[in-house]
A and B are shown apart, each in its own frame.
Chain A
Amino acid sequence: MITIKNLHASIDGKQILKGINLEIKAGEVHAIMGPNGSGKSTLAAVLAGRPEYEVTEGEVNYNGKNLLELSPENRAREGVFLAFQYPIEIPGVSNINFLKTAINEIRVYKGLEPMEAKDFLMMLKEKQKLVELDGKLANRSVNEGFSGGEKKRNEIFQMAMLEPKLAILDETDSGLDIDALRIVANGVNKLKSKDNATIIITHYQRLLDYIIPDFVHVLYNGKIVKSGTKELALELEEKGYDFIKEEVE
């Protein structure tokens, strides 16, 4: 699905990613772990096309396309979804109106007719249930006045509505209590299929108790320094990131 080769990226002239190599196939779940400042969120931002970041070297092939050449909206239309670490509040824009516009623009991009209003509403109800999002929240302005947990659930709700091929969850577990974590994980698990892939970016192992990764990678100082299976996450949890630092340095 996606092949990342020797990816280097910087922001404001500061090099953050220093040669990432990663291959993800359809149906897989990859966890990317690492200490603060290792470049995890930068990787997510670069893949989603955040304009502040500059890719200085390397390539990203996404389903046969050069991902780095696509605009952020076209990446989304091609099926890339980023669940934000800090979802943005947009007062005055209703969640529903925004999702309807998004879905229809994606459909136009794919050469499809806009969705019928009643199909949209049915889908809305079904997906709301999936992430146990209150109908009232779905009707409100995007994330306005939502609690931290509600914002994260709203991200997964949007993901459910947009049905991405590649979902990138950027620290979706941060700031979640255990109930919210379970709901979010449950939503992600239900959306998993053999045709899509998930990248979970996290600092802690906790989320991986609920979403079992096929692979775990450790990002440190802008590079993947260690890869393994889910046992690696447990080892990290036990020993802390210092052991990685010692191993690398």
Chain B
Amino acid sequence: METAIRTSTIKEKLISEFEESKKILFGNTRLRDQAIESFCKQGIPTRKNEEYKYTPVDLMLKEEFYFTANKNCSNEQIEHLKFLKGAYVAIIENGIFMEGLSNLNNLPNGLTICSLADAAKNNSTIFEKYYAQYADINADPFIALNTAMAKDGVFIYVAKNAIIEKPIHIIDISTTFENIMIQQRNLIVVDENAQAKIIESFETLDSNAITFSNALTEIVINENAIVDYYKIQDEKELGNLVNTTQIIQKKQSIFSIHTFTLSGSLVRNNLTLVLDGEHIGSHLNGLYLTAGNQVVDNHTVVDHRKPNCNSNELYKGIIDGKSTATFNGKVFVRKDAQKTNAFQSNKNILLSEDGTINTKPQLEIYADDVKCSHGTSTGKLDEEKIFYLLSRGLGTDSAKKLLMNAFASEVVDTITIEPLREYIEGKILKKFELH
């Protein structure tokens, strides 16, 4: 029996785990059945799959994984991760919402934060209206897998006209001592004319276990809403993360997303923004600092479906060691999306001979009255600038650090939450110390 399990593939194991657990999972079993069927068809992507060419998720999934974990976390262990004073904090441990570890007392009127599994029962109107409506199970195997197997996650609802002043901080933490594969799912709905700032941190507690997290967040931004979203991906070196974020924006809404990838063994971001209304503003900023054998892959899609919208995308990376970074940014401007302004830029600094950067900007424009541009650059640190700094007495190390920091600051300066900016700046400086 045991040998049979050991020789079966991760795909087979996932399917058998699904059959065992599906009855106790939240929501609609029919949707889950469709999703597992789609996953069966798609399978775990290999590097023969164009979309996963540079990201060996299949290799990472060759390990043995458990699909459930004990709760290991204490308040003390995670206190340092709650660095935003006064924030509403939701803790998700190994994919499960942990009310006891969270700080959700005194939520203001108009703000709901709870377990997604609970929301499926207790907030069924909103849940059923929006859940799994945007992340297409046939578009990517990890969406299919997550939709089939998601156990829990966080549900956030910001009601019409509610302005949430304090930030909402979601902390996704893996705490297991055994290798684990996690299927976490979040649903965030910001209703008409509402505003919120949301931070999502990805962390692991010290352990020798390998984690593979397939985390999926759907974000619905209704008319006139304003949402600022930050991702801080800072897992330990045995942490692997496939993070799908599916955003739908309705008319006149403004959305900014900032993705900071600071560590982790493998990080794959699938970020899709659909601009489904007029006069929408979208900002996508990203910063990835890679070293060692890290693999970081940012796939973004900005889909302009209606006229008169603006999108602006800036991704920057510093690549060191034998690490590999990939940027693949698609911008679609549909036939109806006249008067679109869409800009995209990807800039990289390669610090080492053995580092790799793959960058692929793609514009597909079907409208004729638009302003679009994209650009990409990869280079070393500028020798002229280094010499200028040396000639003033700075050592090579601090000159390089100053220049790397300057390069990163273009993205870091887009953070509007002051303590968050300081936190990220501190993290980055620490990371540069290691170079």
Count residues on chain B whose CB falls below 8 Å from chain A CBs: 22
Task: A97-B402, A158-B392 given; name 18 further pairs at CB < 8 Å.
Answer: A49-B390, A72-B391, A73-B394, A76-B391, A82-B391, A88-B384, A88-B385, A92-B405, A92-B409, A98-B392, A101-B394, A102-B392, A102-B393, A102-B394, A105-B395, A109-B393, A141-B406, A142-B388
Cβ of B394: which chain A residues have Cβ within 8 Å of it?
73, 98, 101-102, 105
The 7 closest A-B pairs by CB, nearest first: A92-B406, A76-B393, A72-B390, A88-B388, A102-B392, A106-B393, A92-B409
Cβ of A71: which chain B residues have Cβ within 8 Å of it?
390
Measured in the bound complex, the distance between the Cα atoms of B201 and A218 in whole Å is: 65
Measured in the bound complex, the distance between the Cα atoms of B389 and A77 in whole Å is: 12
Measured in the bound complex, the distance between the Cα atoms of B398 and A106 in whole Å is: 12
The answer to whether residues A93 and B403 also contact, given A76-B392, A105-B395 and a CB cut-off of 8 A, is yes
Residues of A within 8 A of B (CB): 48-51, 71-73, 75-77, 81-82, 84, 87-88, 90-93, 97-99, 101-103, 105-106, 109, 141-142, 158, 162
Measured in the bound complex, the distance between the Cα atoms of B385 and A49 in whole Å is: 14
Measured in the bound complex, the distance between the Cα atoms of B402 and A195 in whole Å is: 32
Tell yes or no: B51 within 8 A of A by CB: no
Return the CB mask of B369-391 against A: 1 if under 8 Å, else 0: 00000000000000111011111
Pair B398/A101 contact, Cβ less than 8 Å: yes
Pair B396/A73 contact, Cβ less than 8 Å: yes
Pair B393/A162 contact, Cβ less than 8 Å: yes
Return the CB mask of B397-433 against A: 1 if under 8 Å, else 0: 0110011011101100000000000000000000000
Which residue in chain A gives the minimum CB-CB distance to B412?
A92
Measured in the bound complex, the distance between the Cα atoms of B387 and A49 in whole Å is: 9
The answer to whether residues A93 and B390 also contact, given A73-B395, A101-B398 and a CB cut-off of 8 A, is no
Pair A77/B393 contact, Cβ less than 8 Å: yes
Cβ of A82: which chain B residues have Cβ within 8 Å of it?
391
Measured in the bound complex, the distance between the Cα atoms of B403 and A77 in whole Å is: 20
Measured in the bound complex, the distance between the Cα atoms of B393 and A93 in whole Å is: 15
Cβ of A50: which chain B residues have Cβ within 8 Å of it?
387
Cβ of B403: which chain A residues have Cβ within 8 Å of it?
90, 93
Chain A's nearest CB lies how many Å from the CB of B347? 12
The answer to whether residues A76 and B388 also contact, given A92-B409, A101-B398 and a CB cut-off of 8 A, is no
Q: Which of the residues A49, A98, A103, A162 comes within 8 Å of B389, measured between beta carbons?
A: A98
Q: Which of the residues B391, B396, B402, B410 comes within 8 Å of A101, measured between beta carbons?
A: B402
Pair A91/B406 contact, Cβ less than 8 Å: yes
Measured in the bound complex, the distance between the Cα atoms of B390 and A75 in whole Å is: 9
Q: Which of the residues A49, A87, A88, A90 comes within 8 Å of B406, measured between beta carbons?
A: A90
Chain B's nearest CB lies how many Å from the CB of A67? 13
Cβ of A77: which chain B residues have Cβ within 8 Å of it?
393
Q: Which of A72, A77, A88, A97 has the most CB of B within 10 A?
A: A72
Measured in the bound complex, the distance between the Cα atoms of B393 and A43 in whole Å is: 19
9 A–B pairs (Cβ distance < 8 Å), ordered by A? A73-B390, A76-B390, A76-B392, A82-B391, A92-B406, A98-B389, A98-B402, A101-B398, A109-B393
The answer to whether residues A105 and B393 also contact, given A93-B402, A93-B403, A93-B406 and a CB cut-off of 8 A, is yes
Return the CB mask of B211-223 against A: 1 if under 8 Å, else 0: 0000000000000
Cβ of B393: which chain A residues have Cβ within 8 Å of it?
73, 76-77, 102-103, 105-106, 109, 162
Q: Which of A71, A73, A158 has the most CB of B within 10 A?
A: A73
Measured in the bound complex, the distance between the Cα atoms of B392 and A105 in whole Å is: 10
Cβ of A87: which chain B residues have Cβ within 8 Å of it?
388
Measured in the bound complex, the distance between the Cα atoms of B409 and A49 in whole Å is: 29
Measured in the bound complex, the distance between the Cα atoms of B406 and A91 in whole Å is: 7
Chain B's nearest CB lies how many Å from the CB of A96? 12
Cβ of B410: which chain A residues have Cβ within 8 Å of it?
91-92
Chain B's nearest CB lies how many Å from the CB of A72? 4
Pair B388/A84 contact, Cβ less than 8 Å: yes
Which residue in chain B gives the minimum CB-CB distance to A87?
B388
Q: Which of B90-134 contact A (CB under 8 A)?
A: none
Cβ of A76: which chain B residues have Cβ within 8 Å of it?
390-393
Pair B398/A92 contact, Cβ less than 8 Å: no
Chain A's nearest CB lies how many Å from the CB of B404? 10
Measured in the bound complex, the distance between the Cα atoms of B390 and A77 in whole Å is: 10
Chain B's nearest CB lies how many Å from the CB of A185? 22
Q: Which of B384, B402, B405 has the most CB of A within 10 A?
A: B402
Which residue in chain B gives the minimum CB-CB distance to A107?
B393
Q: Which of B390, B392, B399, B403 has the most CB of A within 10 A?
A: B392
Chain B's nearest CB lies how many Å from the CB of A77? 5
Measured in the bound complex, the distance between the Cα atoms of B347 and A91 in whole Å is: 14
Measured in the bound complex, the distance between the Cα atoms of B394 and A158 in whole Å is: 13
The answer to whether residues A162 and B387 also contact, given A90-B403, A90-B406, A105-B398 and a CB cut-off of 8 A, is no
Chain B's nearest CB lies how many Å from the CB of A123? 15
Measured in the bound complex, the distance between the Cα atoms of B341 and A63 in whole Å is: 61
Measured in the bound complex, the distance between the Cα atoms of B390 and A106 in whole Å is: 11
Cβ of B395: which chain A residues have Cβ within 8 Å of it?
73, 105
Cβ of A84: which chain B residues have Cβ within 8 Å of it?
388, 391
Measured in the bound complex, the distance between the Cα atoms of B407 and A141 in whole Å is: 12
Measured in the bound complex, the distance between the Cα atoms of B383 and A82 in whole Å is: 17
Chain A's nearest CB lies how many Å from the CB of B71? 43
Measured in the bound complex, the distance between the Cα atoms of B396 and A186 in whole Å is: 33
Which residue in chain A gives the minimum CB-CB distance to B383?
A51
Cβ of B385: which chain A residues have Cβ within 8 Å of it?
88, 90
Chain A's nearest CB lies how many Å from the CB of B432? 13
Measured in the bound complex, the distance between the Cα atoms of B405 and A50 in whole Å is: 24
Cβ of A162: which chain B residues have Cβ within 8 Å of it?
392-393
Which residue in chain B gives the minimum CB-CB distance to A93?
B406
Chain A's nearest CB lies how many Å from the CB of B131? 42
The answer to whether residues A51 and B406 also contact, given A73-B394, A73-B395 and a CB cut-off of 8 A, is no
Measured in the bound complex, the distance between the Cα atoms of B397 and A71 in whole Å is: 13
Cβ of A103: which chain B residues have Cβ within 8 Å of it?
393
Cβ of A88: which chain B residues have Cβ within 8 Å of it?
384-385, 388
Cβ of B389: which chain A residues have Cβ within 8 Å of it?
90, 98, 102
Which residue in chain A gives the minimum CB-CB distance to B401?
A101
Cβ of A99: which chain B residues have Cβ within 8 Å of it?
392
Measured in the bound complex, the distance between the Cα atoms of B405 and A82 in whole Å is: 25
